[in-house]
Structure 1
Amino acid sequence: MRISTLASVRLPAYVQAHKRATGEPAYFWVRPRWAAPPAARHGKTCPVTSSPLGTDLAVAIERANALNEAFKQWREGEGAKLTPGTVQWLFDWYRRLEKFTELRHNTRAGYRIAMDAVEAMAMRAGTFGQRRAAAVDATAADTLYRKAREKHGERQGAYMMQVCRLVWNQASRHHKATGIKASENPFAGMGIKSSSGAGRGNRAATRAEYDAYRAAAHELGRPSMAVAAAICFEACQRVYDAFGYEDPDGRISRGIRWGSYVPGVSIGLVQSKTGNVVTIPLADGTGADRVELYPELEAELARLTRGDDDELIVRDERTGERYTKDYVTKLHRRIKKKAELGADVKFTSFRHGGITEIGDSGTDDVRAVSGHSTLEVTRIYNKANQEKAVRIAAKRREHIAVIAAGAALDDSEDDTRSTAE
């Protein structure tokens, strides 16, 4: 259907018609200025952007109506009526399942972010969230993956597809309710690249960067931040366990407490993600044969005033209370700047660095220290685990000594060249 005059038809909201040089009208959906980011509704910025609609009036109206529906749902948020069978409706269905509500807060939050990003992906008409979920095929999934990588990067794009695959798996099990046919998942077998690639994403911090960070933390009067870095790098613990971040759901207890630390003997670590309890020996042997396995960690712990057994080791010096994530992020940036470290050194980089260092020392299995996989809590297994933890730490100390010797040799060669010059 074509029109010869722009005034002969009532256009959908936010649609503008402009004449081309040939006199032919072209249509555009124009997002109102008040809705442009950073403006937000219900915690989300507007997923709909200004878009050309083409020159065919019927097609333009169809596309505009889809965009207006997405725009309305953004404005109304959770109160918006979802169209049954759409991708947005399917995600809402999944979030109501016990399978989702029983997940931990961080996992649920990550899934929601991924789902919101998938829903907001712009398509030729409207957003992906408006598509019929049952009509999404392998071609559509591959196109979505490509668009997601272009907009959000390799790492987040892969995560978005993984969440879709999980949702479609559940939907196919309940195909009578969802309309998704059993055993048909367009997000399966995609060849998702979960790695962020060289130079992208989170990277491992080196021991030199870790040492510089701790020194800067002390210069700024923040020994607790140096201890947290040591717990992540030396003991390979996750950031939220090192800081003891509060669980919004109140389901799990995080943090390392003074009662779990026996100087020169051991430190007990609870893996809140897996529920594993990992006790790391701090020394091997006795007398002249005694080897300190984690001297850097213990040196940092010794700088703090020991609290009661049930008190967190890492606490905000200002208040004596546990740190908040926002304040740690702000403080981490200050310490990095003081230490002259790159922006790509995140706090998670210390754990990555510690695990990498163990691997570089020739030890492939780090579970006895990092607590990655589920462990059977039996006395026999725990004994074997303790022995392995000692071997891992001893091997790592040998590797650290090699690193130090190499650094000393480089310094000596530099001094020799300077003297010769």
Structure 2
Amino acid sequence: MAEVRLPSYVQKHKLAGKVTGYFWVRPQWAKPPAMRHGQPCPVQSTPLGTDVATAITKANAINAAFKEWRDGSQSKLVPGSVMWLFDWYRGTEKYTELRHVTRTGYKLAMDMVVAIEMKVGRFGTRQAKLIDATASDALYKKAKEKHGERQGSYMMQVCRLVWNQASRHHKATGVKDNPFSGMGIKSSSGAGRGNRASTRTEYEAYKLAAAEMGKHSMAAAAAILFEGCQRVYDAFGFEDPDGYVRGVRWGGYRPGESIGLIQSKTGNVVDIPIVDRLDGEVVVLYPELEAVIGGLTRGADDDLIVRDERTGAAYTKDYMNKLHRRIRKKAGLPDDLKFTSFRHGGITELGDSGEVDVRAVSGHKTLNVTGIYNKASQEKALRIAARRREHITTLVGSLVAVEGEPDVE
């Protein structure tokens, strides 16, 4: 039987169990900071699965978006088409004021929507003002079939946002209604990337494995996410294309007092007390965080706390992700444990302790539960930490009672 011809940029590799896996691999020349027509490449290397037919379908959609980025779509834009509408939206302040990572996710979702094949042609060639509920439902179905439930939902959410703006400016766009509203779209956590909260047990196992591998900085990063509820970018100080300040630095850490966390997404400076004093007694609120940070060699005030042990510089995203997978494997933790899971786990633990408004620690700007903004304060941060400490003590105590007591003969 003749070998199936694979689309451009598709590679196949042998996986465990002698299974063949297919991967779309972005060429080196297209990797950031490469630009075409003022835009970074909207697609990245991605696994396509083990079914060759499905892999070819996914690769063709990715290649279509890749080609449009490479060649430029301006000359192909038909006024009033979905492609034209997306281009219009990307020129609005609503889009340009977004963070780089958010813009990239939106752009990828739009490219995927444009590339979906309908009964007649691609969706991107249709007139945006003629899209109705029937067409949007059909698009949603095809998006889920091609890209999965989570990514399909995210694509529809982006469409809903674009059509909302278009209907507000209908004289310019011709769009008066939003066919993507009221679809019952299932919530997603971002551009098709699922996430879950880690448990404290998983978090502790991860730190132990990282320490055994000599990667104490990765243990520190996990602690900053789980205990301090910080974002991955802020813990590692990754370079931000938009110029946001990132990274937890030694100058903000005062042992036995507090740790300063600057959250780039909101611009909020969060100075978290790590001890409390009650009637002259010192109560340590974040012993796990202090234990792991205290074990690192302190640098200059401007130095990042989390640094690559090999170079002393900030981690690159690629190496951090590779190292995370190695540590996760050594710890025997499941593949769905992402690094962002530690932050979700920490915020979940705060909620389990009885605190609803956790912004004094997490740095969120608004309280989504009630929509009421209460200014974060040192007093609130202390109360949150104290309640969480009580919750952890109870949790650990119950685990010891169940798992740690020796048998009595």
Of the candidates 290, 293, 297, which is equivalent to residue 305 of structure 1? 297
**1:101 partner letter:** T
Structure 2 counterpart of 1:176: 171
The alpha carbon displacement at 1:347 in A equals 0.4
The alpha carbon displacement at 1:36 in A equals 7.5
Change (3 A) 1:412 1:239: closer
Of the candidates 200, 210, 215, which is equivalent to residue 207 of structure 1? 200
Change (3 A) 1:342 1:40: closer
Q: Is the 8 A contact 1:256 1:312 kept in 2?
A: yes
Pairing 1:234–2:227 present: yes
Please list every run of 5 or more consecutive structure 1 residues that lacks an aligned counterpart in the other structure.
1-30, 51-68, 376-380
Structure 2 counterpart of 1:64: none
The alpha carbon displacement at 1:177 in A equals 2.7
The alpha carbon displacement at 1:102 in A equals 2.5
Pairing 1:156–2:143 present: no
Give me the whole-angstrom Cα distance separating, in 2, the residues matched to 1:40 and 1:215.
35
Of the candidates 184, 197, 207, which is equivalent to residue 191 of structure 1? 184
Structure 2 length-normalised TM: 0.80
**1:157 partner letter:** G
Q: Secondary structure at the match of 1:144?
A: helix
> Can you list the C-alpha shifts for 1:296-330, whole angstroms capped at 9, x where unaligned?
00011111111111111111111111111111111
Structure 1 counterpart of 2:370: none
**1:155 partner letter:** R
**1:394 partner letter:** A
Change (3 A) 1:305 1:412: closer
- For residues 61-72 of structure 1, the aligned pairs below 5 Å read none
Pairing 1:289–2:310 present: no
Q: Secondary structure at the match of 1:285?
A: strand
> Can you list the C-alpha shifts for 1:100-139, whole angstroms capped at 9, x where unaligned?
2222111110111111111112211222111111110111
Structure 2 counterpart of 1:326: 318
Give me the whole-angstrom Cα distance separating, in 2, the residues matched to 1:355 and 1:409.
25
Structure 2 counterpart of 1:367: 359
The alpha carbon displacement at 1:80 in A equals 4.7
Q: Give aligned-pair identity as a percent.
A: 65
Structure 1 counterpart of 2:211: 218
Q: Is the 8 A contact 1:86 1:131 kept in 2?
A: yes
Q: Is the 8 A contact 2:154 2:188 kept in 1?
A: no
Q: Is the 8 A contact 2:65 2:111 kept in 1?
A: no
**2:317 partner letter:** K
> Can you list the C-alpha shifts for 1:128-181, whole angstroms capped at 9, x where unaligned?
111111110111112212222233233222221111111112222332332212
Change (3 A) 1:266 1:96: same
The alpha carbon displacement at 1:388 in A equals 1.2
Q: Secondary structure at the match of 2:240?
A: coil
Give me the whole-angstrom Cα distance separating, in 2, the residues matched to 1:105 and 1:371.
20
Please list every run of 5 or more consecutive structure 2 residues that lacks an aligned counterpart in the other structure.
11-23, 31-40, 45-51, 54-63, 368-373
Pairing 1:271–2:266 present: no
The alpha carbon displacement at 1:74 in A equals 7.7
Point out 4+ residue stretches in structure 1 off by more than 3 angstroms: 31-45, 69-80
Give me the whole-angstrom Cα distance separating, in 1, the residues matched to 2:68 and 2:363.
43
Q: Secondary structure at the match of 2:76?
A: coil
**1:147 partner letter:** K
The alpha carbon displacement at 1:40 in A equals 6.8
Change (3 A) 1:89 1:288: same
Of the candidates 381, 391, 397, which is equivalent to residue 389 of structure 2? 397
Pairing 1:90–2:103 present: no
Provide the aligned C-alpha RMSD in A.
2.8
Q: Secondary structure at the match of 1:280?
A: strand
Q: Secondary structure at the match of 1:290?
A: strand
Q: Is the 8 A contact 1:154 1:194 kept in 2?
A: no
**2:293 partner letter:** L
- For residues 31-180 of structure 1, the aligned pairs below 5 Å read 35=8, 37=10, 38=24, 76-78=71-73, 80-180=75-175
Q: Secondary structure at the match of 2:377?
A: helix
Give me the whole-angstrom Cα distance separating, in 2, the residues matched to 1:207 and 1:193.
28
Q: Secondary structure at the match of 1:116?
A: helix
Give me the whole-angstrom Cα distance separating, in 2, the residues matched to 1:237 and 1:71.
33
> Can you list the C-alpha shifts for 1:194-226, whole angstroms capped at 9, x where unaligned?
057xxx931111111101101111111111101
Give me the whole-angstrom Cα distance separating, in 2, the residues matched to 1:74 and 1:241.
30
Give me the whole-angstrom Cα distance separating, in 2, the residues matched to 1:240 and 1:36.
29
Q: Is the 8 A contact 1:120 1:128 kept in 2?
A: yes
Q: Secondary structure at the match of 2:260?
A: strand
Structure 2 counterpart of 1:342: 334
The alpha carbon displacement at 1:286 in A equals 5.4
Q: Secondary structure at the match of 1:108?
A: helix
**2:313 partner letter:** E
> Can you list the C-alpha shifts for 1:209-252, whole angstroms capped at 9, x where unaligned?
101101111111111101100000001111111111111132x1
Q: Which moved more, 1:298-307 or 1:169-178?
A: 169-178
How many residues are matched?
Answer: 355
Give me the whole-angstrom Cα distance separating, in 2, the residues matched to 1:289 and 1:246.
41
Give me the whole-angstrom Cα distance separating, in 1, the residues matched to 2:125 and 2:66.
11
Pairing 1:259–2:251 present: yes
Q: Is the 8 A contact 2:114 2:123 kept in 1?
A: yes
Structure 1 or 2, whichever has the larger Rg, is 1
**2:395 partner letter:** I
Change (3 A) 1:290 1:316: same
**1:312 partner letter:** L
Structure 1 length-normalised TM: 0.77
Q: Is the 8 A contact 1:70 1:126 kept in 2?
A: no
Q: Secondary structure at the match of 2:394?
A: helix
